[in-house]
Chain A
Amino acid sequence: MNAKRIDKLATAVISLLVGVVVLILLSLIGYILVTGLPHISWHFLTSPSQAFLKGGGIGDQLFNSFYLLVLTLVISFPIALGAGIYLFEYAPKNWVTNTIRVAIEVLSSLPSVVVGLFGFLLFVVEFKLGFSILSGAIALTFFNLPLLTRSIENSLTAVPKLQREAGLALGFSRWQTVLGVIFPEALPGILTAVILSAGRIFGEAAALIYTAGQSAPILNFANWNPFSPTSPLNPMRPAETLAVHIWKINSEGIMPDASAVSAGASAVLIVVVLLFNFSARWLGNRIYRKITASK
């Protein structure tokens, strides 16, 4: 065989494998949407789940997922921002900083189940918080911090150095320069990172099974007192999220319409995560264009 034919053959093989991957993705998403969407109704999205009967919904789980997401972001964003700013602006170039960077790298690659178990040990067992939204949110914070910190630092670093000099030369302190000059310009990147991390948090289950728990107590959506046990806002109540729900009904399998409910719930999960993904890209581009004024 001559070189030209090998070249053609290799290109064909590569294209074939690429085609297979695209096909896998399309059939994955297609399968989930085709089997799941027919189950989705207003009733399904808003009514509580059933353990032994048909016709349960995912209303509480959906609420829990969003509530947990908001709490996690509220806790993790300030910490990640602080750490990102420190690493970007203040960290001296020495072994301590290097060690911290390695630690962040290691944390980002730890299995989420281990992070969840640590959260379980610390909050549920040691601090006796029990299975609660708060424990879950903190566990998800642990899981989210390294990646978010790194993306924030990268977004800050991506702003041209000249901007930093401009701020400093005008008598801004380093803190003012980072917050007033560099942060606004890094905002598109940071927002994108936050939304992408939101997608990750929304779909995470392994870190939650032993922190936020696997039960969804009856919620009274008319009760907004965060200290009442039936209030949806109470951060100390156990809360099964959508992702955990899918895992649970599939591994215990006592629900008669488990596969229908999981198909519907999976479709909801996918749609939300896809929405996060698309909005991240859309918003990032939009803000970028607005800031740079190129229309």
Chain B
Amino acid sequence: MDKIKRQLTSSSKATRQDRIGKLVAFLCTFLIGLLVVSIFYMVASRGLATFFKDHVSLWDFLSHQNWNPSQVGKDGTPEVGALPMIVGSFSVTVLSAILATPFAVSMALFMTEIAPKRGQKVLQPVIELLVGIPSVVYGFVGLTIVVPVVRALGGGTGFGILSGTLVLFVMVLPTITSMYVDSLRSVPGFYREAALALGATRWQSIYKVILRASVPGLLTAIIFGMARAFGEALAVQMVIGNASLLPHDLISPASTLTSVLTTGIGNTVMGTLPNNALWSLALILLLMSLAFNLLVRVIGSKGRLTK
């Protein structure tokens, strides 16, 4: 009796193991959390130095067009106008998302509504391969094919927003497609059946019922695609021309936040204004990525409410 009592109330190898295991597992999780906090802290502390230490006005930073951090402009303040990069980043992001969406929607509809079995079998690997191709390879192909073609058709050097958009279009396509496929799959089957039973054609059922039911899903997918486009660095940097000028058309050299960062960080000295200004660009990237995340969450919770 006492033996059993002791056995049942004292800790055993299993409980000790469990306690240690739980602790180790928690530490791993905590490490990831800590990592996110430190990324934000460190990038923010460098990026904000431009405004607090070097006293550049935030408004000037966001609205001025001259990016030449090592020079002092006519008005006596350093030339750190990030507008060209901000415009460049948003242009390639929005244009590539607009271009990719009809293709992604078609791909997703083909896989879920038009030829679910065959489409899935053929297009799933297509998506996976497109995701799998490294971004430098996209950049290389962009450099050797897209840029010369743009040059031949549009004139100029061929480098610029159009080339960046075309490269990003292929890169965000699989992201938007696969996320939209998931959301189409979650549209209940009886929606389709109900529509078809009422005598609707397949397109009517898609257009009137399925597309409408999946609008929040499509928006989420597009935002994810935009987040990928906004953060993509090398592929864009290789084809955009890297001129920190406010873009006037789609075929003259421009730059994005990421392209200036990749080329600039190595050429500036830590702690100086030109370097801090680059970290401010990184901070914008970080905040935009957070904003995309937030947007997805807002859409997600709204979508749930209407169900």
A–B direct touch in complex (beta carbons closer than 8 A): yes
**A contact residues around B270 at 8 Å (CB):** 125
Asked whether any CB of chain B lies closer than 8 Å to the CB of A85, the reply is yes
Q: Which residue of B lies closest to A22 (CB)?
A: B126
Bound: A111/B288 CA distance, A:
10
**Could you say which of B25-33, B52-60, B149-157 contacts chain A?**
B25-33
Within 8 A of B (CB), among A95-147: 99-100, 102-107, 109-115, 117-118, 120-122, 125, 142, 145-146
Asked whether any CB of chain A lies closer than 8 Å to the CB of B282, the reply is yes
Bound: A146/B262 CA distance, A:
23
Bound: A269/B270 CA distance, A:
33
Interface code B105-143, partner A: CB below 8 Å = 1, 0 otherwise?
Answer: 011011000100001001100101110111111011101
Task: Let me know if B134 and A259 touch, CB within 8 A.
Answer: no
Task: Let me know if A247 and B122 touch, CB within 8 A.
Answer: no
Given A103-B36, A122-B38; 8 other pairs, CB 8 A cutoff: A3-B203, A100-B33, A107-B39, A114-B39, A114-B231, A175-B14, A202-B134, A250-B238
Bound: A220/B130 CA distance, A:
37
Minimum Cβ distance to chain A for residue B155 (Å): 22
Bound: A100/B31 CA distance, A:
10
**A contact residues around B262 at 8 Å (CB):** 113, 206, 209
Q: When the two chains form the complex, which single residue of B24, B31, B126, B203 contacts A25, counting CB atoms closer than 8 Å? A: B126
Task: Let me know if B33 and A99 touch, CB within 8 A.
Answer: yes
Asked whether any CB of chain A lies closer than 8 Å to the CB of B94, the reply is no
Q: Which residue of A lies closest to B290 (CB)?
A: A106
Asked whether any CB of chain A lies closer than 8 Å to the CB of B90, the reply is no
Asked whether any CB of chain B lies closer than 8 Å to the CB of A13, the reply is yes
**A contact residues around B230 at 8 Å (CB):** 111
Q: Is the interface of A mostly helix, strand, loop or mixed?
A: helix
**A contact residues around B106 at 8 Å (CB):** 13-15, 17-18, 21
Asked whether any CB of chain A lies closer than 8 Å to the CB of B234, the reply is yes
Task: Let me know if B22 and A90 touch, CB within 8 A.
Answer: yes
Minimum Cβ distance to chain A for residue B253 (Å): 14
Task: Let me know if A104 and B237 touch, CB within 8 A.
Answer: no
Show the binding face of B for A, using Cβ within 8 Å.
14-15, 17-18, 20-22, 24-33, 35-39, 42-43, 46, 102-103, 106-107, 109-110, 114, 119, 122-123, 126, 128-130, 132-137, 139-141, 143-145, 170, 173, 200-204, 206-207, 224, 227, 230-234, 237-238, 258, 261-263, 265-266, 270, 279, 282, 285-286, 289-290, 292-293
Bound: A125/B143 CA distance, A:
33
**B contact residues around A263 at 8 Å (CB):** 140, 144
**A contact residues around B136 at 8 Å (CB):** 203, 205, 243-244, 246-247, 250, 266, 269
**B contact residues around A146 at 8 Å (CB):** 32
Q: Which residue of B lies closest to A145 (CB)?
A: B32
Q: Which residue of A lies closest to B237 (CB)?
A: A251
Q: When the two chains form the complex, which single residue of A29, A82, A113, A203 contacts B25, counting CB atoms closer than 8 Å? A: A82
**B contact residues around A247 at 8 Å (CB):** 136, 139, 234, 238
On chain A, the number of residues with a Cβ less than 8 Å from chain B's Cβ atoms is 90
Task: Let me know if B31 and A79 touch, CB within 8 A.
Answer: yes
Minimum Cβ distance to chain B for residue A128 (Å): 12
Q: When the two chains form the complex, which single residue of A14, A122, A173, A204 contacts B110, counting CB atoms closer than 8 Å? A: A14
Q: Which residue of B lies closest to A4 (CB)?
A: B201
Task: Let me know if B33 and A21 touch, CB within 8 A.
Answer: no
Task: Let me know if A270 and B231 touch, CB within 8 A.
Answer: no
Minimum Cβ distance to chain B for residue A161 (Å): 19
Minimum Cβ distance to chain A for residue B243 (Å): 14
Count of A-B contacts judged by CB separation below 8 Å: 251
**B contact residues around A179 at 8 Å (CB):** 21
Provided the pairs A105-B293, A111-B289 are in contact, do residues A18 and B107 lie with their beta carbons within 8 angstroms?
yes
Asked whether any CB of chain B lies closer than 8 Å to the CB of A57, the reply is no
Can you show 7 pairs from A to B with CB atoms below 8 A apart? A6-B201, A91-B29, A111-B233, A121-B43, A142-B39, A209-B266, A247-B136
Provided the pairs A14-B114, A209-B262 are in contact, do residues A109 and B32 lie with their beta carbons within 8 angstroms?
no
Provided the pairs A22-B126, A111-B233, A145-B35 are in contact, do residues A87 and B29 lie with their beta carbons within 8 angstroms?
yes
Minimum Cβ distance to chain A for residue B252 (Å): 19
Bound: A199/B17 CA distance, A:
35
**B contact residues around A204 at 8 Å (CB):** 134
Q: Which residue of A lies closest to B17 (CB)?
A: A175
**B contact residues around A83 at 8 Å (CB):** 25, 28-29, 31-32
Asked whether any CB of chain B lies closer than 8 Å to the CB of A31, the reply is yes
Task: Let me know if B285 and A114 touch, CB within 8 A.
Answer: yes
Task: Let me know if A122 and B204 touch, CB within 8 A.
Answer: no
Bound: A20/B130 CA distance, A:
13
**A contact residues around B129 at 8 Å (CB):** 25, 29, 274, 277
**B contact residues around A250 at 8 Å (CB):** 136, 139-140, 143, 238
